[in-house]
Amino acid sequence: MASLPTRQKLWGGRFTGNTDPLMHEFNQSLSYDRRMYDADIRGSKAYAKALTRVGILTHQEESSIIEGLEKVRKEWASEEGFKIQPDDEDIHTANERRLSELIGPTGGKLHTGRSRNDQVATDMRLWLLDEVSAIEDSLRGLIRVMVERADKEKNFLLPGYTHLQRGQPIRWAHLLLSHAFSFRYDLERLQQLIPRISVLPLGSGALAGNPFVVDREFLAKELGFLSVAENSMWGVGDRDFVVEFMMWASLTMTHMSRLSEDLIIYSTAEFGFVTLSDAYSTGSSIMPQKKNPDSLELLRGKSGRIFGNMAGFVMTLKGLPSTYNKDLQEDKEPLFDTVDNISKSLQIAEGVIATMKVHSDKMRQALTMDVLATDLAEYLVRKGVPFRETHHISGRAVALAESQKCQLNELTAEDFKKLHDRFSEDVVQVFDFERSVERRSAIGGPSMKTVERQIAVLREIVQ
């Protein structure tokens, strides 16, 4: 059996003319899909074994192919690198071309019954499963740092905000853990994606299945897939796993953006609750006094980029007819970019949280007595007055303090008694921030007991 000419493309038999050089460049994906070289080689090794099991390859040919593929893998991994040729279109054709150069005509047998359509879908799923595992570790690391920081700083009190207006006193740990719980459910959603990514397309052929009845369950076990694509047309044309991962990343980065926004605000001179480490800040080119939270601003900005990746690919996907179309080559760059940026974002966020300084004195200074207005209303509730009435009475007390240009706790017992006869001398007990926080001890509240419960829940999850 004669070997294929080096410059002949896998699909070239039908064509007699040369490809426009610009079209070749427009068509190629090796410049970015080369990062899947290891996944492609793993899939090819498994497929060689499957071909041996159905008699297409001899054991000697299988060994030759596997040894050759391992040499190709080492070339990609070496400093000298894999020598790319002008006609290499993608990682699959490049690897097969080099394999045939190394072992001769036997390399041409590897593609028997296999198409680039099922090959690329397999490679992408294998590659993404590896990346998801690393991302899961990074997400656990971020949650762990947030939890440990919350545990050390659970005595710090500050105002909780709604509409960016001071609302009620809370623990700093409670605020930090609120973001950690968003990431906790991101972790759960990521884990739920794995079975839908881990579906084997290999053996689906171009669209109509494999004519040599390769054992696809063997292939799945060999490559570590959890299940096999039951429909070959779906197997080669499905990219829902790409969309779903990018949707997951978009939501996770939305949570990252909200955390960043809080910390950006709290790091301003007007708040002064936190100071970012120099390692995660930059200065101004013109204003020497500036310390800019660029790390957090970039995290906030990356969320828009990652959402754009997802939205763009969904628009590519929505109008496609069945099975494989070349439009699907547009799946890789947004997926790769999303993986790269969310991986870095999680690590940067962990560094920011681990190294920032928290100023408990500034937080305490931001607590003013008006944040206890709800506690004042609740004081009367405990005296038997309906809350809708106590809310109004508490509001009048706030207005009275404002008119007298004093704090709520500076009103006299007589001032309160004029507002309602259920007020008594013990109203002074309301004006205690720690007491206010500790009263909120139902599950989910900011009391010491409930914050420690939150810490325990999250620690169990990230272990």
What pLDDT score does 23 carry? Answer: 78
pLDDT tens digits, residue range 61-76?
Answer: 999 999 999 999 999 9
What pLDDT score does 8 carry? Answer: 53
Q: Using DSSP, how many helices (H) and how many strands (E) does the chain show? A: 18, 6
| 11 pLDDT higher than 50 | no
**Rounded-to-integer distance, Cα 277 and Cα 272, Å:** 14
What pLDDT score does 4 carry? Answer: 40
pLDDT tens digits, residue range 382-423?
Answer: 999 999 999 999 999 999 999 999 999 999 999 999 999 999
Amino acid of residue 13: G
**Rounded-to-integer distance, Cα 289 and Cα 283, Å:** 8
Is 12-112 assigned to CATH 1.10.275.10?
yes
**Rounded-to-integer distance, Cα 168 and Cα 369, Å:** 10
- % of the chain residues with pLDDT over 90: 89
Lowest mean pLDDT among 23-32, 130-139, 151-160, 232-241: 23-32
Considering the domain 369-462 in this protein, what is its CATH number? 1.10.40.30
Q: Is 163 a catalytic residue?
A: yes
- Please return the burial class of 268, using the count of CB atoms within 10 Å of its CB with bins 0-12, 13-18 and 19+: exposed
**Rounded-to-integer distance, Cα 331 and Cα 329, Å:** 5
| 284 pLDDT higher than 80 | no
Average pLDDT score, the chain: 93
What pLDDT score does 194 carry? Answer: 98
Mean pLDDT of 226-231: 98
Buried b (16+ CB within 10 A) or exposed e, 87-101: bbbbbbbbbbbbbbe
Q: Which residues pair with 358 in a beta bridge?
A: 274
What value does the CA radius of gyration of the chain take, rounded to a whole number of Å? 31
Instruction: Supply the pTM of this predicted model.
Output: 0.91
- Please return the burial class of 385, using the count of CB atoms within 10 Å of its CB with bins 0-12, 13-18 and 19+: middle
Residue pair 462/147 in contact by the 8 Å Cβ criterion: yes
What pLDDT score does 386 carry? Answer: 93
Residue 1: band (very low, low, confident or very high) from pLDDT cuts 50, 70, 90: very low
Q: Which residue in the block uniquely carries the two structure tokens 């910390």? A: 263
Catalytic residue, candidates 3, 31, 277, 284: 284
Residue pair 431/372 in contact by the 8 Å Cβ criterion: yes
Lowest mean pLDDT among 8-17, 29-38, 125-134, 141-150: 8-17
What pLDDT score does 12 carry? Answer: 53
pLDDT tens digits, residue range 425-440?
Answer: 999 999 999 999 999 9
What pLDDT score does 29 carry? Answer: 86
Catalytic residue, candidates 59, 78, 163, 403: 163
Mean pLDDT of 183-208: 98
Does 12-112 match 117-365 in CATH topology?
A: no
Residue pair 303/258 in contact by the 8 Å Cβ criterion: no
Is 117-365 assigned to CATH 1.20.200.10?
yes
Mean pLDDT of 284-294: 75
- % of the chain residues with pLDDT over 70: 95
What pLDDT score does 14 carry? Answer: 55
| 348 pLDDT higher than 50 | yes
Most confident of the following: 51-60, 291-300, 319-328, 406-415: 51-60
Residue 2: band (very low, low, confident or very high) from pLDDT cuts 50, 70, 90: very low
Ranges of each domain in the chain? 12-112, 117-365, 369-462
What pLDDT score does 219 carry? Answer: 98
